[in-house]
Each structure stands twice: as C-alpha cells, then as structure tokens.
C-alpha cells in the first residue's frame, strides 16, 4: 500500500501574498500543486443591495469605495450607466475630462500593481520606484478632483468642476518625470535575471483558455485576446483618439507584466490627445449637463468601461423612482480569478506569488 504524500495548504485570508481577503485552498504533493480552489466572500459588503436603497446621486460616492485602487473608475462606470437610464448625453468637455482622469487613474492603478507584484517575487527595491511614480499621478488627480482617493468627482451629466488653470504645467512636469521613472522600471526589472526566471514561462495561459474562462483586460490581452472596450465599444469620444492596444501572445506572467507597462505609456499618449482637444473648446463651454430629470423613465441598461483590470460595468433596472430597482456589478476581477487555479496546478508552490501578482486582484470589487 503506497503512502499518501498529498496535503492541503490554505493560503489566506490573512497571508502576505493574498492582496485582499480571500483564500486559496491548495492540494500539494511536495512542492508541486496538484489541486486548488479559490474561496471568496470574506469582504462581501452587499453593494448591489445598498445601491438600490440609495438615490442615484447618493450611489456615486459609494461606488468610489468599491475598489480603493480604482475608485474613480467605478464611480465613472456607475454614472455612465445612470446616464443611460436617464437617457441623457454629457457635454464634450465633460467627456474629455472624464477620459483624462480615467487614464490617470489607470496609470496609478498599474503603478500600485507593479510595486506589489515586485515585492511578492523578491524585487524589494521596486516597491519604491512605482510608488514614487504613483505619487506623481495622484498629485495631478488631486489638483483636478480635490482628492487623492475616493474622488467623488463625477456627477450625473458631467463632472463636478472644470480643469484647473495650471493643469498643463503639472501634466508637463509630471509626465516627464513619470516617463523617466518608467524607463527605470524596465531597466531594473528586465535586466534582472531573477525577475525573468520567476515570470517567463510561469502561469502560461493560451488564447483559447483565456477566452474560455472569460478573462478580460491586460490578463486576456497578454494571451492574444485583442479586445479593449475603449476601442471596440467606445464611449465618451474614445473613437476619436488614436492609441495602440498592447497585445502579446506569450500568455505568461512576464507578458501580463509587459502589457500593463506598455499601457502606462499609451495612457500618457491619450492624455495629451485629450488635452489638445480640450484646448479647442471655449472656456465657457459647459462641463455638466444640468438638464437632468428628477426621475428617470422605467427601463434597463448595461454600460461598461475599460478599467485598469478590464471590463467593468453596471446593469441597472429602473421602475421610474429616484433609486435603482435592481443593480448588478460586472467585476473584471471576478472573471480573472477563475483562471488562477488552472494556471497554478502543475506548477511549484513558489510560483504562486508571480502568477497571482500578474492577475492583479482587487477583492473589493470582486466580493462587492
């Protein structure tokens, strides 16, 4: 009778590599992972029910707290769906400001992801550089919105305020310094053999697998799935901008890292295009459509945006009252988490931080 060598190992909910309150139950044979099951629900806050008990306006700052890393993205996505329910358009100036701030938010999100992933796989120095770069972006967001987190900047029909008069100088200085730091990211990480060994060929996901599991965002694009909501289902004038959607075919942890790194530079490119279009408008042009009915018509709508982690959106049902009758949140992290267990099975225990870090999980919008 052969001796059983398998054992169960629980990672989380309190574990330095978990990036949030969730648990990964593993079955291991020595150092090899032979089974696994992701368990969520530790951070469930009842967001979808909460939003149905608040007016549409009151729900906007609540959505800021879905995921602190991308608070502006979630409040913008919610407002986008509200405007669909109300059947109203927003002024061009408001569209441009939303794009500008969302791209800044995308960069800040990727910076925090890079810092966390680097530390997880032993590149401790890289905690400092991306966090310094993130500070540059947060300073610009603070100048525009008045806050560094949970911005509460968007409003139904537009935004809370116009851009400050000195924002161009802040963008010039900020993006110049950011690009310098961005080049240092590449030099520090990609010239380090340990980083390449721990990411290249680790957690490989084919294009077919990415599509079968419904992955979205950089996770899917790193496996050759060429889809981006900004380009393929444009909103707020993204169809008038020229930008490249980074796509790779290797499908490993290194490819997922590289896609996000390239997205940062593309976001800067988008910001400058937006600024050029913004300058073509008059200073007196409105940044908010004030012609919003007190109550929306009955109906339903689903609208989505491209967050830093992929497609995020809200499905809203209206019965004609001042609060939603039903609300469902589409989380990109929920999709991407499904593929984590298949990616680590067959690999080594030490590979989990690299694979998990490359997925970029935020449990706030996962559990909702």
Tens digit of pLDDT for each residue in 226-247?
999 999 989 988 989 999 999 9
pLDDT given at position 1: 45
Whole-model pTM: value is 0.88
E-state strands within 40-177: 154-155, 158-159
Share of the chain above pLDDT 70, in %: 97
Average pLDDT over residues 69-98: 91
Average pLDDT over residues 46-68: 88
Give 362's contacts (C-beta < 8 A, 6+ positions apart).
19, 20, 67, 69, 70, 309, 333
pLDDT higher for 8 or 262?
A: 262
What are the pLDDT digits (tens) for 161-177?
889 988 888 999 989 88
Cα separation, 26 vs 15, whole angstroms: 14
pLDDT higher for 184 or 100?
A: 100
Give 146's contacts (C-beta < 8 A, 6+ positions apart).
153, 161
Average pLDDT over residues 289-311: 88
What are 329's strand-pairing partners?
314
pLDDT given at position 102: 92
Nearest 5°: phi and psi at 187?
-60, -45
Give 3's contacts (C-beta < 8 A, 6+ positions apart).
none
Cα separation, 216 vs 210, whole angstroms: 8
| Cα dihedral 60, 64, 70, 73 in deg (nearest 10) | 0
pLDDT band at 293 (very low <50, low <70, confident <90, very high): confident
Give the range with max mean pLDDT: 41-45, 184-188, 255-259.
255-259
pLDDT given at position 277: 92
Which domains, from first to last, does the chain contain? 45-367 (1.10.645.10)
Residue 178's CB is within 10 A of a number of other CB atoms, namely: 23
Nearest 5°: phi and psi at 301?
-155, 145
Q: Is the confidence at residue 348, as pLDDT, over 80?
A: yes
Residue whose tokens read 């870090």:
357
Cα separation, 8 vs 36, whole angstroms: 9
pLDDT given at position 3: 62
Cα separation, 2 vs 4, whole angstroms: 6
What are the pLDDT digits (tens) for 179-219?
888 888 788 887 878 888 888 888 888 999 999 988 998 99
pLDDT given at position 17: 66
pLDDT band at 270 (very low <50, low <70, confident <90, very high): very high
What is the helix (H) or strand (E) element at residue 73, kind and residue range? Answer: helix 71-86
pLDDT higher for 39 or 57?
A: 57
Q: Of the candidates 36, 32, 35, which has an alpha carbon nearest to the alpha carbon of residue 347?
A: 32
Give 317's contacts (C-beta < 8 A, 6+ positions apart).
299, 300, 324, 325, 326, 327
Nearest 5°: phi and psi at 296?
-80, 160
């Amino acid at each position: 009778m052969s001796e059983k060598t398998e054992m169960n190992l629980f990672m989380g909910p309190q574990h330095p590599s978990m990036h949030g309150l969730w648990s990964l139950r593993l079955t291991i044979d020595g150092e090899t992972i032979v089974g696994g099951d992701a368990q969520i629900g530790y951070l469930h806050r009842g967001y979808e029910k909460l939003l149905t008990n608040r007016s549409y306006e009151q729900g906007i700052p609540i959505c800021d707290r879905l995921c602190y890393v991308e608070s502006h993205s979630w409040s913008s996505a919610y407002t986008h769906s509200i405007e669909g329910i109300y059947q109203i358009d927003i002024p061009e100036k408001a569209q441009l400001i939303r794009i500008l701030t969302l791209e800044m938010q995308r960069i800040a999100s990727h910076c925090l992801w890079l810092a966390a992933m680097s530390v997880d796989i032993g590149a401790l120095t890289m905690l400092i550089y991306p966090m310094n770069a993130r500070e540059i972006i947060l300073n610009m967001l603070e100048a525009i919105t008045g806050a560094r987190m949970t911005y509460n900047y968007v409003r139904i029909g537009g935004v809370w305020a116009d851009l400050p008069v000195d924002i161009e100088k802040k963008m010039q200085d900020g993006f110049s310094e950011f690009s310098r730091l961005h080049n240092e990211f590449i030099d520090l990480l990609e010239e380090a053999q340990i980083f390449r060994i721990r990411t290249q060929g680790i957690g490989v996901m084919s294009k077919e697998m990415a599509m079968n599991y419904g992955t979205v965002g950089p996770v899917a694009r790193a496996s050759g799935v060429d889809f981006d909501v900004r380009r393929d289902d444009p909103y707020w004038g993204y169809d008038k901008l020229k930008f490249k959607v980074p796509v790779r075919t290797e499908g490993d942890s290194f490819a997922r890292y590289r896609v996000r790194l390239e997205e940062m530079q593309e976001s800067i490119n988008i910001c400058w295009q937006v600024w050029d279009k913004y300058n073509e408008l008059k200073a007196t042009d409105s940044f908010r459509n004030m012609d919003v009915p007190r109550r929306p018509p009955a109906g339903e709508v689903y609208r989505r945006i491209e967050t830093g982690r992929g497609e995020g959106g809200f499905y809203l049902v209206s019965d004609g009252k001042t609060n939603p009758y039903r609300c469902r949140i589409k989380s990109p992290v929920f999709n991407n988490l499904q593929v984590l267990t298949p990616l680590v099975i067959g690999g080594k225990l030490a590979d989990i931080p690299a694979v998990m870090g490359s997925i970029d999980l935020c449990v706030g919008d996962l559990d909702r």
